[in-house]
Structure 1
Protein backbone atom coordinates (compact mmCIF):
# COMPACT_ATOMS: atom_id res chain seq x y z
CA UNK A 1 0.00 0.00 0.00
CA UNK A 2 1.34 3.42 -0.97
CA UNK A 3 1.80 5.72 2.00
CA UNK A 4 0.24 9.11 1.17
CA UNK A 5 2.34 12.24 1.39
CA UNK A 6 1.87 14.15 4.64
CA UNK A 7 2.44 17.87 4.65
CA UNK A 8 2.41 20.30 7.55
CA UNK A 9 2.08 24.08 7.84
CA UNK A 10 2.26 26.12 11.07
CA UNK A 11 1.19 29.60 12.11
CA UNK A 12 1.52 31.42 15.44
CA UNK A 13 -1.84 32.56 16.78
CA UNK A 14 -3.84 32.70 20.04
CA UNK A 15 -0.65 32.53 22.06
CA UNK A 16 0.02 29.10 20.58
CA UNK A 17 0.79 27.44 17.25
CA UNK A 18 -1.84 26.44 14.70
CA UNK A 19 -0.93 23.38 12.64
CA UNK A 20 -2.53 22.24 9.40
CA UNK A 21 -1.88 18.71 8.17
CA UNK A 22 -2.89 17.48 4.74
CA UNK A 23 -2.79 13.80 3.86
CA UNK A 24 -2.22 13.47 0.13
CA UNK A 25 -3.35 16.10 -2.35
CA UNK A 26 -1.47 18.33 -4.75
CA UNK A 27 0.19 21.69 -4.31
CA UNK A 28 -1.36 24.52 -6.22
CA UNK A 29 -2.98 27.95 -6.00
CA UNK A 30 -6.19 26.61 -4.45
CA UNK A 31 -4.33 24.85 -1.65
CA UNK A 32 -2.24 27.95 -0.93
CA UNK A 33 -5.31 30.19 -0.95
CA UNK A 34 -7.27 27.96 1.40
CA UNK A 35 -4.35 27.63 3.82
CA UNK A 36 -3.86 31.41 3.90
CA UNK A 37 -7.59 31.92 4.46
CA UNK A 38 -7.62 29.31 7.21
CA UNK A 39 -4.87 31.05 9.15
CA UNK A 40 -6.45 34.47 8.47
CA UNK A 41 -9.69 33.17 10.00
CA UNK A 42 -7.84 32.29 13.20
CA UNK A 43 -6.09 35.67 13.23
CA UNK A 44 -9.49 37.38 13.00
CA UNK A 45 -10.81 35.37 15.94
CA UNK A 46 -7.75 36.37 17.94
CA UNK A 47 -8.18 40.07 17.12
CA UNK A 48 -11.85 40.02 18.06
CA UNK A 49 -11.87 37.73 21.10
CA UNK A 50 -8.48 37.79 22.79
CA UNK A 51 -8.73 39.05 26.40
CA UNK A 52 -4.98 39.75 26.25
CA UNK A 53 -5.28 42.36 23.48
CA UNK A 54 -6.28 45.81 24.66
CA UNK A 55 -7.90 46.58 21.29
CA UNK A 56 -9.98 43.39 20.97
CA UNK A 57 -13.76 43.64 20.97
CA UNK A 58 -13.90 41.44 24.09
CA UNK A 59 -11.50 43.73 25.99
CA UNK A 60 -13.52 46.77 24.96
CA UNK A 61 -16.76 45.08 26.05
CA UNK A 62 -15.24 44.22 29.43
CA UNK A 63 -14.18 47.86 29.89
CA UNK A 64 -17.69 49.04 29.07
CA UNK A 65 -16.63 50.77 25.85
CA UNK A 66 -18.75 48.53 23.62
CA UNK A 67 -21.76 46.25 23.85
CA UNK A 68 -22.10 42.79 22.35
CA UNK A 69 -24.61 44.22 19.87
CA UNK A 70 -22.13 46.90 18.75
CA UNK A 71 -19.18 44.52 18.38
CA UNK A 72 -18.09 42.45 15.39
CA UNK A 73 -21.01 40.21 14.29
CA UNK A 74 -19.05 37.12 15.33
CA UNK A 75 -19.33 38.22 18.97
CA UNK A 76 -23.12 37.91 18.91
CA UNK A 77 -22.78 34.49 17.26
CA UNK A 78 -20.39 33.32 19.98
CA UNK A 79 -22.54 34.80 22.75
CA UNK A 80 -25.53 32.82 21.46
CA UNK A 81 -23.42 29.65 21.33
CA UNK A 82 -22.24 30.25 24.89
CA UNK A 83 -25.82 30.65 26.10
CA UNK A 84 -26.76 27.35 24.44
CA UNK A 85 -23.72 25.66 26.03
CA UNK A 86 -24.61 26.93 29.50
CA UNK A 87 -28.13 25.55 29.10
CA UNK A 88 -26.92 22.19 27.74
CA UNK A 89 -24.35 21.69 30.52
CA UNK A 90 -26.77 22.89 33.22
CA UNK A 91 -24.35 25.54 34.33
CA UNK A 92 -21.13 23.55 34.26
CA UNK A 93 -20.02 25.93 31.51
CA UNK A 94 -20.65 29.68 31.43
CA UNK A 95 -19.16 32.59 29.53
CA UNK A 96 -20.05 35.00 32.31
CA UNK A 97 -17.62 35.62 35.15
CA UNK A 98 -18.01 38.26 37.84
CA UNK A 99 -20.69 39.85 35.71
CA UNK A 100 -18.41 40.17 32.66
CA UNK A 101 -18.60 38.35 29.33
CA UNK A 102 -15.61 36.02 28.91
CA UNK A 103 -16.08 33.46 26.09
CA UNK A 104 -12.47 32.24 26.25
CA UNK A 105 -13.52 28.67 27.01
CA UNK A 106 -15.75 28.58 23.91
CA UNK A 107 -13.94 30.60 21.26
CA UNK A 108 -10.88 28.45 20.66
CA UNK A 109 -12.75 25.28 19.71
CA UNK A 110 -15.37 27.23 17.77
CA UNK A 111 -12.74 29.17 15.79
CA UNK A 112 -10.71 26.06 14.93
CA UNK A 113 -13.78 24.16 13.77
CA UNK A 114 -15.05 27.12 11.75
CA UNK A 115 -11.70 27.63 9.99
CA UNK A 116 -11.29 23.91 9.26
CA UNK A 117 -14.76 23.38 7.87
CA UNK A 118 -14.71 26.60 5.83
CA UNK A 119 -11.23 26.45 4.36
CA UNK A 120 -9.84 22.91 4.64
CA UNK A 121 -12.95 20.84 3.88
CA UNK A 122 -13.05 22.11 0.24
CA UNK A 123 -9.62 20.49 -0.33
CA UNK A 124 -10.84 16.97 0.52
CA UNK A 125 -10.86 14.66 -2.46
CA UNK A 126 -9.11 17.16 -4.72
CA UNK A 127 -5.78 16.13 -6.13
CA UNK A 128 -5.94 12.97 -4.05
CA UNK A 129 -6.31 14.76 -0.69
CA UNK A 130 -7.50 12.06 1.71
CA UNK A 131 -7.69 14.02 4.95
CA UNK A 132 -7.08 17.42 6.51
CA UNK A 133 -6.65 18.45 10.12
CA UNK A 134 -6.31 21.72 12.03
CA UNK A 135 -5.04 21.88 15.61
CA UNK A 136 -4.17 24.67 18.01
CA UNK A 137 -2.61 23.86 21.36
CA UNK A 138 -3.73 20.23 21.18
CA UNK A 139 -7.39 20.87 20.30
CA UNK A 140 -8.14 19.62 16.80
CA UNK A 141 -10.78 19.28 14.10
CA UNK A 142 -10.03 16.28 11.88
CA UNK A 143 -11.59 15.87 8.43
CA UNK A 144 -11.51 12.84 6.13
CA UNK A 145 -12.64 12.62 2.51
CA UNK A 146 -15.73 10.55 1.77
CA UNK A 147 -14.72 7.02 0.82
CA UNK A 148 -11.24 7.37 2.27
CA UNK A 149 -9.98 4.72 4.67
CA UNK A 150 -7.72 7.20 6.46
CA UNK A 151 -7.82 7.16 10.26
CA UNK A 152 -6.16 9.77 12.48
CA UNK A 153 -4.19 8.44 15.46
CA UNK A 154 -4.22 10.91 18.35
CA UNK A 155 -2.04 10.54 21.42
CA UNK A 156 -3.53 11.84 24.69
CA UNK A 157 -0.80 13.40 26.81
CA UNK A 158 -0.28 12.09 30.32
CA UNK A 159 -0.74 15.20 32.50
CA UNK A 160 1.63 13.82 35.15
CA UNK A 161 4.42 12.62 32.85
CA UNK A 162 5.68 15.09 30.23
CA UNK A 163 6.22 13.63 26.73
CA UNK A 164 4.32 10.44 27.62
CA UNK A 165 0.81 9.45 26.53
CA UNK A 166 -1.95 7.96 28.64
CA UNK A 167 -3.83 6.60 25.61
CA UNK A 168 -3.94 6.62 21.82
CA UNK A 169 -7.26 7.17 20.06
CA UNK A 170 -8.16 6.29 16.48
CA UNK A 171 -10.46 8.92 14.96
CA UNK A 172 -11.72 8.44 11.38
CA UNK A 173 -13.10 11.97 11.47
CA UNK A 174 -14.18 14.27 14.27
CA UNK A 175 -12.72 16.50 16.95
CA UNK A 176 -10.58 16.13 20.06
CA UNK A 177 -10.47 18.69 22.88
CA UNK A 178 -8.54 18.59 26.15
CA UNK A 179 -8.99 20.80 29.20
CA UNK A 180 -7.47 20.69 32.66
CA UNK A 181 -5.02 22.08 35.14
CA UNK A 182 -1.92 20.14 34.09
CA UNK A 183 -0.32 22.83 31.88
CA UNK A 184 -1.88 26.12 32.95
CA UNK A 185 -2.78 25.47 36.58
CA UNK A 186 -6.23 26.00 38.06
CA UNK A 187 -7.46 28.38 35.35
CA UNK A 188 -10.89 26.86 34.72
CA UNK A 189 -13.72 28.70 36.44
CA UNK A 190 -16.56 26.85 38.20
CA UNK A 191 -19.67 28.97 37.50
CA UNK A 192 -21.49 27.32 40.39
CA UNK A 193 -19.06 28.54 43.05
CA UNK A 194 -17.36 31.51 41.44
CA UNK A 195 -13.99 29.91 42.20
CA UNK A 196 -11.48 27.75 40.32
CA UNK A 197 -12.68 24.23 39.51
CA UNK A 198 -11.56 21.88 42.28
CA UNK A 199 -12.89 18.49 41.25
CA UNK A 200 -9.54 16.75 41.05
CA UNK A 201 -9.33 16.54 37.23
CA UNK A 202 -5.81 16.98 35.85
CA UNK A 203 -7.06 16.59 32.26
CA UNK A 204 -10.31 15.86 30.48
CA UNK A 205 -10.31 14.80 26.83
CA UNK A 206 -13.54 14.66 24.84
CA UNK A 207 -13.95 13.29 21.31
CA UNK A 208 -16.97 14.41 19.29
CA UNK A 209 -17.95 15.27 15.72
CA UNK A 210 -17.65 18.98 16.48
CA UNK A 211 -14.75 20.71 18.21
CA UNK A 212 -17.07 23.42 19.51
CA UNK A 213 -19.08 20.69 21.22
CA UNK A 214 -16.03 18.75 22.42
CA UNK A 215 -14.36 21.86 23.86
CA UNK A 216 -17.43 22.88 25.86
CA UNK A 217 -17.87 19.42 27.34
CA UNK A 218 -14.16 19.03 28.14
CA UNK A 219 -14.45 22.20 30.21
CA UNK A 220 -17.68 20.94 31.78
CA UNK A 221 -15.94 17.67 32.69
CA UNK A 222 -13.22 19.51 34.61
CA UNK A 223 -15.83 21.53 36.48
CA UNK A 224 -17.98 18.47 37.26
CA UNK A 225 -14.98 16.70 38.78
CA UNK A 226 -13.40 13.27 38.51
CA UNK A 227 -16.09 11.51 40.56
CA UNK A 228 -19.05 12.82 38.54
CA UNK A 229 -19.84 11.37 35.10
CA UNK A 230 -23.56 12.12 35.28
CA UNK A 231 -23.12 14.76 32.58
CA UNK A 232 -22.12 12.30 29.83
CA UNK A 233 -25.76 11.34 29.32
CA UNK A 234 -26.47 14.96 28.32
CA UNK A 235 -23.38 15.41 26.16
CA UNK A 236 -24.67 13.26 23.30
CA UNK A 237 -22.35 11.15 21.18
CA UNK A 238 -18.96 11.54 22.79
CA UNK A 239 -16.13 9.42 24.04
CA UNK A 240 -13.33 10.49 26.31
CA UNK A 241 -10.84 10.14 29.09
CA UNK A 242 -10.49 11.76 32.51
CA UNK A 243 -7.19 11.71 34.39
CA UNK A 244 -7.29 12.66 38.07
CA UNK A 245 -4.69 14.66 39.97
CA UNK A 246 -3.47 11.41 41.55
CA UNK A 247 -3.27 9.51 38.24
CA UNK A 248 -6.52 7.55 38.18
CA UNK A 249 -8.17 7.21 34.77
CA UNK A 250 -11.83 6.97 33.71
CA UNK A 251 -12.97 6.31 30.13
CA UNK A 252 -16.43 6.36 28.60
CA UNK A 253 -18.09 5.63 25.27
CA UNK A 254 -21.42 7.28 24.57
CA UNK A 255 -23.28 7.15 27.88
CA UNK A 256 -21.39 4.18 29.30
CA UNK A 257 -18.23 4.13 31.39
CA UNK A 258 -15.92 1.44 30.00
CA UNK A 259 -12.77 1.70 32.14
CA UNK A 260 -11.81 2.80 35.62
CA UNK A 261 -8.09 2.48 36.31
CA UNK A 262 -6.05 3.07 39.42
CA UNK A 263 -2.96 5.26 39.47
CA UNK A 264 -0.74 2.20 38.94
CA UNK A 265 -2.75 1.02 35.93
CA UNK A 266 -4.89 -1.63 37.66
CA UNK A 267 -8.58 -1.90 36.75
CA UNK A 268 -11.42 -1.35 39.19
CA UNK A 269 -14.91 -2.88 38.93
CA UNK A 270 -17.73 -0.51 38.12
Structure 2
Protein backbone atom coordinates (compact mmCIF):
# COMPACT_ATOMS: atom_id res chain seq x y z
CA UNK A 1 0.00 0.00 0.00
CA UNK A 2 1.19 3.51 -0.78
CA UNK A 3 2.01 5.20 2.55
CA UNK A 4 1.53 8.69 1.10
CA UNK A 5 -1.52 10.52 2.44
CA UNK A 6 -1.33 8.70 5.77
CA UNK A 7 -0.04 9.62 9.21
CA UNK A 8 0.43 7.67 12.41
CA UNK A 9 -0.63 8.56 15.94
CA UNK A 10 1.61 6.88 18.55
CA UNK A 11 1.12 6.79 22.31
CA UNK A 12 3.79 5.26 24.59
CA UNK A 13 3.21 4.19 28.18
CA UNK A 14 4.53 1.76 30.82
CA UNK A 15 2.39 -1.26 31.74
CA UNK A 16 2.70 -5.00 32.33
CA UNK A 17 6.27 -4.45 33.44
CA UNK A 18 7.43 -3.10 30.09
CA UNK A 19 6.96 -0.36 27.51
CA UNK A 20 3.66 -0.31 25.62
CA UNK A 21 3.04 1.59 22.39
CA UNK A 22 -0.29 2.06 20.62
CA UNK A 23 -0.24 2.93 16.92
CA UNK A 24 -3.18 4.20 14.85
CA UNK A 25 -2.73 4.84 11.12
CA UNK A 26 -5.08 7.51 9.76
CA UNK A 27 -5.65 9.11 6.36
CA UNK A 28 -4.61 12.74 6.10
CA UNK A 29 -8.09 13.65 4.79
CA UNK A 30 -9.90 12.06 7.77
CA UNK A 31 -12.67 14.08 9.48
CA UNK A 32 -11.24 16.71 11.87
CA UNK A 33 -12.91 15.26 14.97
CA UNK A 34 -11.52 11.77 14.37
CA UNK A 35 -8.50 12.58 16.51
CA UNK A 36 -10.69 12.88 19.60
CA UNK A 37 -12.16 9.41 19.04
CA UNK A 38 -8.70 7.96 18.44
CA UNK A 39 -7.38 9.53 21.64
CA UNK A 40 -10.34 8.21 23.63
CA UNK A 41 -9.90 4.65 22.34
CA UNK A 42 -6.19 4.73 23.13
CA UNK A 43 -6.88 6.00 26.66
CA UNK A 44 -9.38 3.20 27.28
CA UNK A 45 -7.01 0.58 25.90
CA UNK A 46 -4.16 1.74 28.13
CA UNK A 47 -6.46 1.95 31.15
CA UNK A 48 -7.44 -1.67 30.53
CA UNK A 49 -3.79 -2.71 30.45
CA UNK A 50 -3.09 -0.86 33.71
CA UNK A 51 -6.09 -2.53 35.33
CA UNK A 52 -4.87 -5.96 34.25
CA UNK A 53 -1.39 -5.07 35.50
CA UNK A 54 -2.75 -4.16 38.92
CA UNK A 55 -4.91 -7.27 39.14
CA UNK A 56 -2.39 -9.86 37.94
CA UNK A 57 1.02 -8.58 39.00
CA UNK A 58 2.97 -10.89 41.33
CA UNK A 59 5.09 -7.93 42.45
CA UNK A 60 2.37 -6.16 44.46
CA UNK A 61 1.20 -7.82 47.66
CA UNK A 62 -2.31 -6.38 47.21
CA UNK A 63 -2.91 -7.78 43.73
CA UNK A 64 -5.56 -10.47 43.41
CA UNK A 65 -2.92 -12.98 42.34
CA UNK A 66 -0.91 -12.46 45.51
CA UNK A 67 -4.02 -12.49 47.70
CA UNK A 68 -5.06 -15.81 46.14
CA UNK A 69 -1.57 -17.19 46.75
CA UNK A 70 -1.80 -16.25 50.45
CA UNK A 71 -5.27 -17.80 50.78
CA UNK A 72 -6.93 -14.43 51.46
CA UNK A 73 -9.05 -14.57 48.30
CA UNK A 74 -10.67 -17.60 46.71
CA UNK A 75 -10.70 -18.04 42.95
CA UNK A 76 -14.50 -18.12 43.04
CA UNK A 77 -14.55 -14.68 44.66
CA UNK A 78 -11.90 -13.17 42.38
CA UNK A 79 -12.67 -10.87 39.46
CA UNK A 80 -14.14 -12.67 36.42
CA UNK A 81 -10.99 -11.80 34.45
CA UNK A 82 -8.90 -13.78 36.92
CA UNK A 83 -11.17 -16.80 36.58
CA UNK A 84 -11.05 -16.50 32.78
CA UNK A 85 -7.24 -16.34 32.70
CA UNK A 86 -7.01 -19.26 35.15
CA UNK A 87 -9.14 -21.40 32.84
CA UNK A 88 -7.07 -20.40 29.81
CA UNK A 89 -3.87 -21.25 31.70
CA UNK A 90 -5.27 -24.68 32.51
CA UNK A 91 -6.01 -25.18 28.80
CA UNK A 92 -2.48 -24.02 27.95
CA UNK A 93 -1.00 -26.45 30.48
CA UNK A 94 -2.81 -29.32 28.78
CA UNK A 95 -2.15 -28.14 25.22
CA UNK A 96 1.61 -27.81 25.79
CA UNK A 97 1.95 -31.08 27.66
CA UNK A 98 3.19 -29.26 30.75
CA UNK A 99 5.79 -27.15 28.94
CA UNK A 100 3.88 -24.06 30.02
CA UNK A 101 2.55 -23.85 33.56
CA UNK A 102 1.21 -20.94 35.57
CA UNK A 103 1.68 -23.05 38.71
CA UNK A 104 5.37 -23.96 38.47
CA UNK A 105 6.21 -21.77 41.48
CA UNK A 106 3.68 -23.68 43.59
CA UNK A 107 1.00 -21.00 43.30
CA UNK A 108 -1.01 -19.47 40.46
CA UNK A 109 1.15 -16.90 38.63
CA UNK A 110 -0.03 -16.26 35.03
CA UNK A 111 2.73 -13.73 34.26
CA UNK A 112 3.83 -15.73 31.22
CA UNK A 113 0.34 -15.67 29.71
CA UNK A 114 -1.56 -12.61 30.90
CA UNK A 115 0.43 -10.00 28.96
CA UNK A 116 -0.73 -11.39 25.61
CA UNK A 117 -4.25 -11.90 26.94
CA UNK A 118 -4.47 -8.30 28.15
CA UNK A 119 -3.17 -6.87 24.86
CA UNK A 120 -5.67 -8.98 22.90
CA UNK A 121 -8.43 -7.67 25.18
CA UNK A 122 -7.32 -4.07 24.66
CA UNK A 123 -7.30 -4.57 20.91
CA UNK A 124 -10.62 -6.41 20.65
CA UNK A 125 -12.58 -4.26 23.10
CA UNK A 126 -11.18 -0.77 22.57
CA UNK A 127 -9.01 -0.40 19.47
CA UNK A 128 -10.54 -2.62 16.77
CA UNK A 129 -13.66 -0.45 16.79
CA UNK A 130 -11.57 2.40 15.34
CA UNK A 131 -11.43 0.49 12.05
CA UNK A 132 -15.15 1.19 11.67
CA UNK A 133 -14.51 4.94 11.57
CA UNK A 134 -13.96 6.83 8.34
CA UNK A 135 -10.27 7.57 7.96
CA UNK A 136 -8.71 4.88 10.17
CA UNK A 137 -6.61 2.37 8.21
CA UNK A 138 -4.81 0.27 10.84
CA UNK A 139 -4.24 -0.16 14.57
CA UNK A 140 -1.48 -1.92 16.47
CA UNK A 141 -0.16 -2.50 19.98
CA UNK A 142 3.48 -3.20 20.79
CA UNK A 143 4.40 -4.54 24.22
CA UNK A 144 7.96 -5.43 25.12
CA UNK A 145 8.78 -6.21 21.49
CA UNK A 146 5.64 -8.30 20.88
CA UNK A 147 2.90 -7.06 18.57
CA UNK A 148 -0.87 -7.36 18.06
CA UNK A 149 -1.87 -5.86 14.71
CA UNK A 150 -5.03 -5.10 12.75
CA UNK A 151 -5.75 -3.41 9.41
CA UNK A 152 -8.89 -2.33 7.60
CA UNK A 153 -9.96 -5.20 5.32
CA UNK A 154 -9.23 -4.57 1.64
CA UNK A 155 -7.23 -1.42 2.49
CA UNK A 156 -3.98 -2.92 1.26
CA UNK A 157 -2.21 -1.87 4.48
CA UNK A 158 0.36 -4.27 5.91
CA UNK A 159 2.64 -3.99 8.91
CA UNK A 160 6.30 -4.73 8.23
CA UNK A 161 7.96 -6.42 11.21
CA UNK A 162 11.66 -7.12 11.48
CA UNK A 163 12.88 -10.04 13.60
CA UNK A 164 16.15 -9.19 15.33
CA UNK A 165 19.11 -11.49 14.91
CA UNK A 166 19.81 -12.66 18.47
CA UNK A 167 23.50 -13.10 17.74
CA UNK A 168 24.28 -9.92 15.80
CA UNK A 169 23.18 -6.72 17.50
CA UNK A 170 21.30 -4.44 15.11
CA UNK A 171 20.93 -7.08 12.39
CA UNK A 172 17.62 -8.39 11.04
CA UNK A 173 17.26 -12.14 10.70
CA UNK A 174 13.85 -12.22 8.99
CA UNK A 175 10.98 -9.95 8.01
CA UNK A 176 7.25 -10.42 8.40
CA UNK A 177 4.53 -8.72 6.38
CA UNK A 178 1.27 -8.90 8.29
CA UNK A 179 -2.13 -7.24 7.99
CA UNK A 180 -3.91 -8.90 10.91
CA UNK A 181 -2.41 -11.09 13.62
CA UNK A 182 0.26 -11.20 16.29
CA UNK A 183 4.02 -11.70 16.62
CA UNK A 184 5.77 -12.77 19.82
CA UNK A 185 9.42 -13.51 20.55
CA UNK A 186 10.80 -15.38 23.56
CA UNK A 187 14.27 -16.54 24.51
CA UNK A 188 17.44 -15.62 26.31
CA UNK A 189 18.94 -13.17 23.80
CA UNK A 190 17.55 -10.00 25.43
CA UNK A 191 16.86 -10.94 29.06
CA UNK A 192 19.09 -13.90 29.73
CA UNK A 193 17.85 -17.34 30.75
CA UNK A 194 14.60 -16.13 32.36
CA UNK A 195 12.32 -18.84 30.95
CA UNK A 196 12.02 -21.87 33.21
CA UNK A 197 11.05 -25.38 32.16
CA UNK A 198 8.17 -26.02 34.59
CA UNK A 199 8.78 -29.77 34.45
CA UNK A 200 12.27 -29.46 35.93
CA UNK A 201 12.35 -26.00 37.47
CA UNK A 202 15.57 -25.31 35.54
CA UNK A 203 16.18 -22.48 33.03
CA UNK A 204 15.57 -23.35 29.37
CA UNK A 205 18.80 -22.40 27.60
CA UNK A 206 18.96 -24.28 24.27
CA UNK A 207 16.99 -21.72 22.24
CA UNK A 208 18.19 -18.12 22.28
CA UNK A 209 15.25 -16.76 20.27
CA UNK A 210 11.87 -18.14 19.18
CA UNK A 211 9.43 -16.01 17.18
CA UNK A 212 5.86 -17.14 16.53
CA UNK A 213 3.15 -15.63 14.32
CA UNK A 214 -0.43 -16.43 15.29
CA UNK A 215 -3.95 -15.00 15.24
CA UNK A 216 -3.70 -13.61 18.78
CA UNK A 217 -0.86 -12.44 20.97
CA UNK A 218 -1.86 -14.80 23.77
CA UNK A 219 -1.39 -17.75 21.41
CA UNK A 220 1.79 -16.40 19.82
CA UNK A 221 3.37 -15.70 23.21
CA UNK A 222 2.33 -19.07 24.65
CA UNK A 223 3.87 -21.05 21.81
CA UNK A 224 7.00 -18.89 21.61
CA UNK A 225 7.61 -19.76 25.25
CA UNK A 226 6.83 -23.41 24.53
CA UNK A 227 9.34 -23.39 21.66
CA UNK A 228 12.08 -22.22 24.04
CA UNK A 229 11.23 -24.89 26.60
CA UNK A 230 10.96 -27.62 23.95
CA UNK A 231 14.40 -26.87 22.55
CA UNK A 232 15.61 -26.59 18.99
CA UNK A 233 15.45 -30.33 18.29
CA UNK A 234 11.74 -30.67 19.07
CA UNK A 235 9.18 -29.17 16.70
CA UNK A 236 6.57 -31.87 17.28
CA UNK A 237 4.38 -29.35 19.12
CA UNK A 238 3.97 -27.28 15.93
CA UNK A 239 1.44 -29.79 14.57
CA UNK A 240 -1.07 -29.01 17.33
CA UNK A 241 -0.23 -25.37 18.12
CA UNK A 242 -2.39 -23.67 15.50
CA UNK A 243 0.26 -21.05 14.76
CA UNK A 244 0.79 -19.47 11.35
CA UNK A 245 4.57 -19.56 11.16
CA UNK A 246 7.68 -19.29 13.27
CA UNK A 247 11.43 -19.19 13.52
CA UNK A 248 13.83 -20.26 16.23
CA UNK A 249 17.57 -19.89 16.72
CA UNK A 250 19.56 -22.20 18.96
CA UNK A 251 22.67 -21.40 20.97
CA UNK A 252 24.89 -22.57 18.11
CA UNK A 253 23.26 -20.27 15.55
CA UNK A 254 21.17 -22.95 13.80
CA UNK A 255 17.75 -21.76 12.61
CA UNK A 256 14.54 -23.69 12.10
CA UNK A 257 11.42 -22.30 10.43
CA UNK A 258 7.90 -23.53 9.94
CA UNK A 259 4.72 -22.49 8.14
CA UNK A 260 1.47 -23.87 9.47
CA UNK A 261 2.35 -27.35 10.71
CA UNK A 262 5.24 -27.90 8.29
CA UNK A 263 8.93 -27.14 8.71
CA UNK A 264 10.43 -25.23 5.80
CA UNK A 265 14.04 -25.07 4.64
CA UNK A 266 15.48 -21.94 3.04
CA UNK A 267 18.15 -22.30 0.39
CA UNK A 268 19.17 -18.65 0.03
CA UNK A 269 21.18 -17.09 2.83
CA UNK A 270 20.57 -13.63 4.24
CA UNK A 271 17.35 -11.95 5.31
CA UNK A 272 14.33 -14.14 4.61
CA UNK A 273 10.58 -13.67 4.73
CA UNK A 274 8.81 -15.44 7.55
Give 1:208's match in structure 2, choosing from 214, 236, 240.
214
**Aligned partners of 1:212 and 1:47: how far apart in 2?**
19
Does residue 153 of the first structure (1) align with residue 160 of the second (2)? Answer: yes
Q: Is the CA contact (8 Å cut-off) linking 1:248 and 1:260 kept in structure 2?
A: no
* 1:156-178 alpha-carbon deviations (Å, 9 max, x no partner): 11222232221111112100011
SS of residue paired to 1:228: coil
Alpha-carbon offset, residue 43 of structure 1: 0.1
1:120 corresponds to: 127
Q: Is the CA contact (8 Å cut-off) linking 2:99 and 2:199 kept in structure 1?
A: yes
SS of residue paired to 1:28: helix
Give 1:102's match in structure 2, choosing from 99, 104, 109.
109
Alpha-carbon offset, residue 111 of structure 1: 0.5
**Aligned partners of 1:246 and 1:99: how far apart in 2?**
33
2:24 corresponds to: 22
**Aligned partners of 1:223 and 1:237: how far apart in 2?**
17
Q: Is the CA contact (8 Å cut-off) linking 1:45 and 1:111 kept in structure 2?
A: yes
What does 1:166-181 correspond to in 2, within 5 Å? 166-181=173-188
- Alignment length, in residue pairs? 264
**Aligned partners of 1:203 and 1:67: how far apart in 2?**
37
Give 1:183's match in structure 2, choosing from 181, 186, 190.
190
Alpha-carbon offset, residue 54 of structure 1: 2.1
**Aligned partners of 1:260 and 1:70: how far apart in 2?**
52
After the TM superposition, which of the residue ranges 39-48 and 96-105 deviates more from structure 2?
96-105
Q: Is the CA contact (8 Å cut-off) linking 2:146 and 2:185 kept in structure 1?
A: yes
Give 1:72's match in structure 2, choosing from 71, 79, 87.
79
TM-score (norm 1): 0.92
1:13 corresponds to: 15
Give 1:244's match in structure 2, choosing from 250, 265, 272.
250
**Aligned partners of 2:11 and 2:222: how far apart in 1?**
27
**Aligned partners of 2:134 and 2:35: how far apart in 1?**
9
* 1:25-68 alpha-carbon deviations (Å, 9 max, x no partner): 54433222111100000000100011112221112222332222
Where does the alignment leave 5 or more consecutive residues of structure 2 unmatched? none
- TM-align CA RMSD: 2.0
**Aligned partners of 2:259 and 2:18: how far apart in 1?**
30
**Aligned partners of 2:162 and 2:100: how far apart in 1?**
26
**Aligned partners of 2:265 and 2:59: how far apart in 1?**
39
* 1:85-123 alpha-carbon deviations (Å, 9 max, x no partner): 111112111111132111111001110111011111000
1:268 corresponds to: none
SS of residue paired to 1:246: coil
Alpha-carbon offset, residue 246 of structure 1: 2.1
Give 1:32's match in structure 2, choosing from 28, 39, 45.
39
TM-score (norm 2): 0.90
